[in-house]
Structure 1
Amino acid sequence: MTRRLLALAALAFATSASAETIAIVDARLMTMTAAGEVERGTIVIRDGRITAIGPGVAVPVGARVIDGRGGTVTPGFIQADSTLGAVEVSQVPASADRATHSAAISAGFDISLGLNPDSILLPVSRLAGITHAVTTPLYDDRGGRDLQFAGQAAVIDLAQRPDMVTRPRAAMVLEMGEGGAERAGGARGSAIVELKATLADVRHFAAHRVAYDRGEGRPQKLSRVDLEALIPVAEGRMSLIVKVDRASDIREIIALAREEKLRVIFDGAEEGWRVAADIAAAKFPVILDPLADLPHSFSELGATMENAARLHAAGVMVIIKTGSGVAHRARELRYGAGNAVAYGLPHDAAVAAITVNPARVFGVADRVGSLEAGRAADLVLWNGDPLEPLSQPQAIFVEGVEKPLTARPLELRDRYLPR
Structure 2
Amino acid sequence: MPKRFAAGLVSGAVLASALAVPSLAQDVAVRGGTVHTMAGPAIEDGVVVIRDGKIVAVGPAATTPVPQGLETLTAEVVTPGLVDARTVVGLAGYLNQEDDQDQLDEGAPIQPHLRAIDGYDPAETLVDWLRNFGVTTIHTGHGPGTLVSGQTMVAKTWARTADAAAIVPRAMVAANLGPGSLGDEGGAPGTRAKQIAMIRTALTQARTRAALDNTERDQAKGTDAEVPGLEEQVMREVIQGRLPLMVTANRAQDIMNALRLKEEFGIDLVLDGAAESYLLLDEIRTAEVSVILHPTMTRHGGDYQNASFTTAAKLAEAGIPFALQSGFEGYVPKTRVILFEAAVAAANGLPWNDALETITIDAARIIGVGDRLGSLEVGKDGDVAMFDGDPFEYTTHATGVVIGGQVASRAVQ
Question: Normalised by the size of structure 2, how large is the TM-score?
Answer: 0.84
Give the residue type in structure 1 aligned to 2:45: R
- Residue 272 and residue 362 in structure 1: after superposition, are their counterparts in 2 closer, same or farther (change >3 A)? same
Tell me if structure 1 keeps the 8 A contact 2:110–2:148: no
Partner of 1:170: 171
1:289 Cα deviation from its structure 2 partner: 2.6
Tell me if structure 1 keeps the 8 A contact 2:295–2:338: no
Partner of 2:93: 88
Structure 2 gap ranges (5+): 1-18, 223-227
Tell me if structure 1 keeps the 8 A contact 2:96–2:334: no
Query: Is 99-108 or 306-315 further displaced after alignment?
Result: 99-108
1:202 Cα deviation from its structure 2 partner: 0.8
Query: Is 362-371 or 180-189 further displaced after alignment?
Result: 180-189
Give the residue type in structure 2 aligned to 1:404: S
Tell me if structure 2 keeps the 8 A contact 1:293–1:304: no
How many angstroms apart in 1 are the aligned matches of 2:298 and 2:152? Answer: 26
How many angstroms apart in 2 are the aligned matches of 1:249 and 1:336? Answer: 24
Give the residue type in structure 1 aligned to 2:307: A
1:136 Cα deviation from its structure 2 partner: 2.1
The one of 276, 283, 286 equivalent to 2:281 is 276
Tell me if structure 1 keeps the 8 A contact 2:82–2:360: yes
1:181 Cα deviation from its structure 2 partner: 4.6
1:104 Cα deviation from its structure 2 partner: 9.7
Give the residue type in structure 2 aligned to 1:366: D
1:74 Cα deviation from its structure 2 partner: 0.8
Partner of 1:155: 154
Counterpart mapping for 1:94-113 below 5 A: 94-103=99-108, 106-113=111-118
* 1:143-170 CA distance string (max 9 Å, x none): xxxx531000000111132211110110
1:320 Cα deviation from its structure 2 partner: 0.8
1:248 Cα deviation from its structure 2 partner: 2.6
More helix by share: 1
Partner of 2:38: 32
Matched, 1:60 2:67: yes
Matched, 1:201 2:205: yes
1:184 Cα deviation from its structure 2 partner: 4.3
Tell me if structure 1 keeps the 8 A contact 2:87–2:138: yes
Where 1:336 maps in the other structure, the secondary structure is helix
How many angstroms apart in 2 are the aligned matches of 1:292 and 1:213? Answer: 55
Partner of 1:138: 143
Tell me if structure 2 keeps the 8 A contact 1:105–1:225: no
Matched, 1:266 2:271: yes
Where 2:129 maps in the other structure, the secondary structure is helix
How many angstroms apart in 1 are the aligned matches of 2:382 and 2:180? Answer: 40
The one of 240, 245, 262 equivalent to 1:257 is 262
Matched, 1:308 2:312: yes
Where 1:373 maps in the other structure, the secondary structure is coil
Tell me if structure 1 keeps the 8 A contact 2:147–2:182: no
The one of 31, 43, 47 equivalent to 1:42 is 47
How many angstroms apart in 2 are the aligned matches of 1:332 and 1:269? Answer: 19
Root-mean-square deviation over aligned CA pairs: 2.8
| Structure with more contact order per residue of length (Cα contacts < 8 Å, sep ≥ 6) | 2
Tell me if structure 2 keeps the 8 A contact 1:290–1:340: no
1:180 Cα deviation from its structure 2 partner: 4.4
Partner of 1:403: 408
Counterpart mapping for 1:283-362 below 5 A: 283-292=288-297, 295-297=300-302, 299-322=303-326, 324-325=328-329, 328-330=333-335, 332-362=337-367
- Residue 79 and residue 328 in structure 1: after superposition, are their counterparts in 2 closer, same or farther (change >3 A)? farther
Question: Normalised by the size of structure 1, how large is the TM-score?
Answer: 0.83
1:373 Cα deviation from its structure 2 partner: 0.8
Q: How many residues align?
A: 382
Where 1:386 maps in the other structure, the secondary structure is coil
1:193 Cα deviation from its structure 2 partner: 2.2
- Residue 397 and residue 245 in structure 1: after superposition, are their counterparts in 2 closer, same or farther (change >3 A)? same
1:174 Cα deviation from its structure 2 partner: 0.5
1:84 Cα deviation from its structure 2 partner: 1.5
- Residue 302 and residue 26 in structure 1: after superposition, are their counterparts in 2 closer, same or farther (change >3 A)? closer
How many angstroms apart in 2 are the aligned matches of 1:87 and 1:294? Answer: 19
How many angstroms apart in 2 are the aligned matches of 1:293 and 1:365? Answer: 26
How many angstroms apart in 1 are the aligned matches of 2:364 and 2:395? Answer: 26
1:241 Cα deviation from its structure 2 partner: 0.9
1:346 Cα deviation from its structure 2 partner: 0.8
How many angstroms apart in 2 are the aligned matches of 1:295 and 1:67? Answer: 40
Q: Taking every aligned residue pair, what percent have the same amino acid on both sides? A: 29
How many angstroms apart in 1 are the aligned matches of 2:249 and 2:336? Answer: 24
Tell me if structure 2 keeps the 8 A contact 1:117–1:160: yes
1:310 Cα deviation from its structure 2 partner: 0.8
Where 2:169 maps in the other structure, the secondary structure is strand
- Residue 404 and residue 152 in structure 1: after superposition, are their counterparts in 2 closer, same or farther (change >3 A)? same
